[in-house]
Each structure stands twice: as structure tokens, then as C-alpha cells.
């Protein structure tokens, strides 16, 4: 069911300052930047091999990422796995009695379809399931 790690996400308060840090300290280059209004975040992604490091910053304090930072501070937010079929992955999660944040897939960044699994039933880890678009040019062409 899980194909690979798509990305690891870090919650940050100041996206521009965080981008500058990862560029200056770690020599990374932004591969993709996008506002995902439906999730209340602006994100930047750095390619690392065949995966990404994602920085997510809340658009306002009353978003899920804004509340996360208020409660826990900046840091590791979630791990995202690529799945071949997101509906099948959600069905499997239900079979295993995982608590789903998203009952149905929603639009994610980079033209993906995503759904989140609550950390309560996943050993404390927030998981994002990511379905890559059918046309790989939508995603794989990102440097």
C-alpha cells in the first residue's frame, strides 16, 4: 500500500526565514512553493533525492498548523507516504480502525490528492496519504 516517503513536513512560524535557513545552512534549493488555502498553509518544498522536505507555515493562527505551533512549537508535523490508490488506502485504514481526519481525499499541493490519518491511532504520528496525479508531468517535472 505505501510506495515511498513522499515528504516529511516541518511546521514553521515564518516561512521566508525558514527557507533562508535551510538554503544557507543546508544548501537546499526550493523546488516548489504554494499556498494551499484549503489547508490554511503556505508551503515550500526542497527536493532530497526522490522525496521532499516540506516547510508548512500557517496562514493564520486558527488553522490546524497554527494551533499545532501554538501548542507544541515549531518542528516535525507529519510524514507523508505516496500511495497508489488513495481510496484503497483509506479503506485499509478504516479496516484497521485508524481514525481518519479526512474521510474522503482532498486537494493537496502539487496537484496531488491527500488524506490525513490521526496520530491518536498511529503511535503518535500524523500521517498524510498522497496520491500522485495520473500525469507524472504534473509532479515529477518539479526540479
Could you confirm whether 74 is annotated as catalytic? no
SS3 98: coil
Could you confirm whether 43 is annotated as catalytic? yes
Active-site residue, selected from the candidate residues 43, 77, 82, 131: 43
CA distance to 53, 87, 109, 125, per residue, from 33 (Å): 12, 27, 9, 24
Active-site residue, selected from the candidate residues 7, 42, 82, 131: 7
Could you confirm whether 77 is annotated as catalytic? no
According to DSSP, residue 85 is labeled -
Integer Cα distance of 72 and 47 in angstroms: 26
CB 122 within 8 A of CB 98: yes
According to DSSP, residue 134 is labeled S
Active-site residue, selected from the candidate residues 77, 78, 82, 131: 78
**Cα angle value 10/91/50 (rounded, 5°):** 40
Active-site residue, selected from the candidate residues 42, 54, 82, 131: 54
Could you confirm whether 96 is annotated as catalytic? no
Could you confirm whether 54 is annotated as catalytic? yes
Active site residues: 7, 43, 54, 78, 128
Amino acid at each position: 500500500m505505501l510506495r515511498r516517503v513522499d515528504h516529511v513536513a516541518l511546521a514553521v512560524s515564518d516561512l521566508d526565514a525558514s527557507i533562508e535557513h535551510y538554503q544557507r545552512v543546508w544548501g537546499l534549493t526550493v523546488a516548489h512553493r504554494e499556498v494551499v488555502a484549503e489547508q490554511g498553509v503556505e508551503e515550500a518544498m526542497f527536493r532530497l533525492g526522490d522525496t521532499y522536505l516540506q516547510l508548512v507555515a500557517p496562514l493564520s493562527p486558527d488553522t490546524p498548523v497554527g494551533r499545532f505551533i501554538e501548542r507544541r512549537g515549531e518542528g516535525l508535523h507529519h510524514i507523508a507516504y505516496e500511495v497508489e490508490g488513495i481510496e484503497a488506502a483509506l479503506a485499509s485504514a478504516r479496516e484497521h480502525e485508524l481514525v481518519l481526519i479526512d474521510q474522503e481525499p482532498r486537494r493537496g499541493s502539487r496537484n496531488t490528492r491527500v488524506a490525513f490519518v490521526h496520530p491518536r491511532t498511529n503511535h503518535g504520528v500524523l500521517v498524510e496519504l498522497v496520491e500522485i496525479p495520473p500525469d507524472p508531468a504534473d509532479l515529477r517535472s518539479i526540479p
